[in-house]
């Protein structure tokens, strides 16, 4: 919207300059040429789908058979349907399945490593690296909530095998202060709850009303937005990966009737028919919106709470 109005403003300026020059010379064609050559139009962002970047291919090679792991995640706490008194919710996960050496852990030198994506309601995820250390949600507002978790690789691509993804619904009574963000015990923002300034400060695009679950049916088709999120700098800003989780859905490319649609900024919608990451190149510096939708057989977004249409803001610094 902002971009459009900027472009519109530029058009007006160009026209005004052109008309005033036209007034001087009395030759409108000539004047227009002069005016447009002195005003540079804003560059257009032309995104294209590219192959997996070499750095990620190198990562995959280095992680060996872990790429074939089938991690199974279990949510010990909060239990499905739990009613929790007070604004603090302890998250306890148990990782099992065919791990082939897969273990969440942040390498202190590289600050990267396997981790679990933890999503409260439909907020951007937070990373959980050390499962033997506590992960707490603080200042959770009263009401019904969902928690979604799934294992992820160092470059944030999720594992997509059966059992990797879990969702639980729980209710908080006597919850926190909705004018303040919901955070983790380490101070990461889980939900901004519309408190002043913090969305800007974190750059995570968590500027949303007090976070609650909506009416999500775990047995119905569900798209879980995972990436992109937050800020991208330097080499990590190009290409950028779109990644998501699909539940109770067979996508078109696998013989089903569902499609994923994405819209970047105000651009033309594009479609994803395979459940795998999409790498996009050609981003311009600045803020962008990324919208992911799950479309049903009728080509309309599938209603399931508000989770099947998700828009995030990302910030690209170059």
Nearer Cβ to Cu ion (156/312): 156
Nearer Cβ to Cu ion (145/156): 156
The Cα–Cα gap between 242 and 106 comes to 22
In SS3 terms, 196-229 reads as CCHHHHHCCCCCCCCCCCCCCCCCCCEEEEEECC
Taking alpha carbons only, the member of 79, 99, 90, 170 closest to residue 128 is: 90
28-38 and 2-25 helices, crossing angle to 10°: 140
Minimum CB separation from Cu ion for residue 29, in Å? 55
Minimum CB separation from Cu ion for residue 154, in Å? 8
Contact 8, 266 (CB under 8 A): no
Contact 187, 93 (CB under 8 A): no
Instruction: Give the per-residue contact string, 159-198, with Cu ion (x = CB under 5 A; - = no).
Output: ----------------------------------------
Nearer Cβ to Cu ion (122/152): 152
Nearer Cβ to Cu ion (243/293): 243
Nearer Cβ to Cu ion (113/256): 113
Residues ≥6 apart with Cβ < 8 Å to 140: 84, 87, 88, 89, 120, 172, 175, 176, 182
Instruction: State which of positions 61-100 bind Cu ion (CB under 5 A).
Output: none
**DSSP percent split of the chain into helix, strand, coil, nearest 5:** 20, 35, 45
Minimum CB separation from Cu ion for residue 14, in Å? 43
Nearer Cβ to Cu ion (170/225): 225
Instruction: Give the per-residue contact string, 248-267, with Cu ion (x = CB under 5 A; - = no).
Output: --------------------
Contact 140, 172 (CB under 8 A): yes
259 alpha-carbon distance from chain centroid: 18
Nearer Cβ to Cu ion (91/210): 91
128 alpha-carbon distance from chain centroid: 16
Minimum CB separation from Cu ion for residue 10, in Å? 38
Which residue's CB comes closest to Cu ion?
A: 156
How many of the chain's residues bind Cu ion (CB under 5 A)? 2
Instruction: Give the per-residue contact string, 122-161, with Cu ion (x = CB under 5 A; - = no).
Output: ------------------------------x---x-----
Minimum CB separation from Cu ion for residue 40, in Å? 38
Minimum CB separation from Cu ion for residue 115, in Å? 6
Nearer Cβ to Cu ion (152/195): 152
Minimum CB separation from Cu ion for residue 236, in Å? 12
Taking alpha carbons only, the member of 141, 170, 151 closest to residue 77 is: 170
Minimum CB separation from Cu ion for residue 117, in Å? 5
Classify residue 133 by its DSSP letter.
Answer: S
SS3 159: coil
Positions touching Cu ion (CB under 5 A) are 152, 156
């Amino acid at each position: 919207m902002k971009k459009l109005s900027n472009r519109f403003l530029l058009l007006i300026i160009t026209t005004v300059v052109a008309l005033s020059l036209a007034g001087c010379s009395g030759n409108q064609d000539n004047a227009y040429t002069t005016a447009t050559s002195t005003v540079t139009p804003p560059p257009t962002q032309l995104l294209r789908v590219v192959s997996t970047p070499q750095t990620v291919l190198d990562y995959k090679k280095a992680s060996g058979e872990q790429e074939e792991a089938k991690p199974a995640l279990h949510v010990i706490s909060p239990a499905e349907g739990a009613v929790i008194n007070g604004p603090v919710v302890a998250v306890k996960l148990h990782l099992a399945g065919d791990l082939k050496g897969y273990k969440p852990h942040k390498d202190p030198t590289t600050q990267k490593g396997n981790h679990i994506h933890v999503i409260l309601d439909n907020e951007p995820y937070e990373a959980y690296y050390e499962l033997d250390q506590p992960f707490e949600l603080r200042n959770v507002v009263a009401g019904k909530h969902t928690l979604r978790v799934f294992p992820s690789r160092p470059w944030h691509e999720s594992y997509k095998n059966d059992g990797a993804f879990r969702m639980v619904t729980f209710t908080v009574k006597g919850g926190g202060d909705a004018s303040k963000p919901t955070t983790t015990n380490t101070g990461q923002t889980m939900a901004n709850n519309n408190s002043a300034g913090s969305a800007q400060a974190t750059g995570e695009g968590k500027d949303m009303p007090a976070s609650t679950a909506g009416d999500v049916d775990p047995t119905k088709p569900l798209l879980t937005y995972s990436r992109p999120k937050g800020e991208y700098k330097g080499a990590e800003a190009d290409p950028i990966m779109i990644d998501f989780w699909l539940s109770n859905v067979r996508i078109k490319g696998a013989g089903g009737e569902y499609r994923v649609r994405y819209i970047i900024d105000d651009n033309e919608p594009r479609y994803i028919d395979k459940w795998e990451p999409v790498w996009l190149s050609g981003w311009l510096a600045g803020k962008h919106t990324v919208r992911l939708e799950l479309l049903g057989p009728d080509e309309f977004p599938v209603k399931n709470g508000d989770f099947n249409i998700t828009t995030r803001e990302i910030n690209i610094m170059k």
